[in-house]
Amino acid sequence: MKKIISIDAIKKFGFEFLSIFIGVFAAFALDSWNETRKDKYVEIKILSEINNGLKQDVKDIMLNMEGHQQGIQAASYFQKVILNQPVSSDSIRQYHFRLFRNFISIQNSSGYQTLKSKGLEIIENDSLRLQILSLYENDFNSIRKLEEDYSELQFHQVYYNKFNDYFSSNLILDAEGKLSGIRYPIILGQKEKNILLLDLWRIKRNRMFIISTCEDVIKKIKALQKNIEEELQ
């Protein structure tokens, strides 16, 4: 004889099943909400770290730009010297140092490295994520390669020895062997004179190129900072 399931039993079973379903769904929803909140917290923390690092990056880049500007002034100084135009001999030591000075490119990338370790997709804003990626992987690398790898922009290695070979007989050293003045009139053969003037022109143009590149990168940094700060609000 078949056992007939009562309506009340069906209702009870349905209610229990619905209760279990709702409980499981709620648990999953709560877990998902917690993960989303956790990811948002991590995103905010990373963006704040990146933004703070970019503030220091701007300062570091501007210091290098200032150094390159001083290198341009030094090149102008020695152009005048070679052409026997009046200059301050007291400044010879600092200009000689600045003329050949190289710089390294420093980026505060800890925030970006954290982002890569957590996964780039943690940045929900697609355009912001691409902006960060482009700055760190392209623009910062471009500056680093210019400052440290591009052979013609390694001023000390390329120009220092040749300049001193041609020009040292016109320099005055003190008793301690320190550069202290210039011996006038400048004595140079026409060939050496032309080579030095051409090298000084190249130094100026190359430093101007680095400065221009740095200015473009600073504009991109400031644009990224603005977007990060808007995202953090």
Residue 188 has a pLDDT of 92
Most confident stretch, 5-9, 90-94, 107-111, 202-206:
202-206
Binned at pLDDT 50, 70 and 90, residue 226 comes out as very high
The mean pLDDT of the chain is 86
The full 3-state SS of the chain, as one line of letters, equals CCCCCCHHHHHHHHHHHHHHHHHHHHHHHHHHHHHHHHHHHHHHHHHHHHHHHHHHHHHHHHHHHHHHHHHHHHHHHHHHHHCCCCCCHHHHHHHHHHHCCCCCCCCCCHHHHHHHHHCHHHCCCHHHHHHHHHHHHHHHHHHHHHHHCCHHHCHHHHHHHHHHHHHHHHEEECCCCCEEEECCCCCCCHHHHHHHHHHHHHHHHHHHHHHHHHHHHHHHHHHHHHHHHHHHC
Query: Which sequence spans correspond to the domains of the chain?
Result: 43-232
- What's the pLDDT at 123? 87
Task: Report whether pLDDT(30) > 50.
Answer: no
For residue 33, name the pLDDT band (cuts at 50, 70, 90). Answer: very low
pLDDT tens readout for residues 81-135:
999 998 888 889 999 999 999 999 988 889 999 988 888 888 889 999 999 999 9
Share of the chain above pLDDT 90, in %: 62
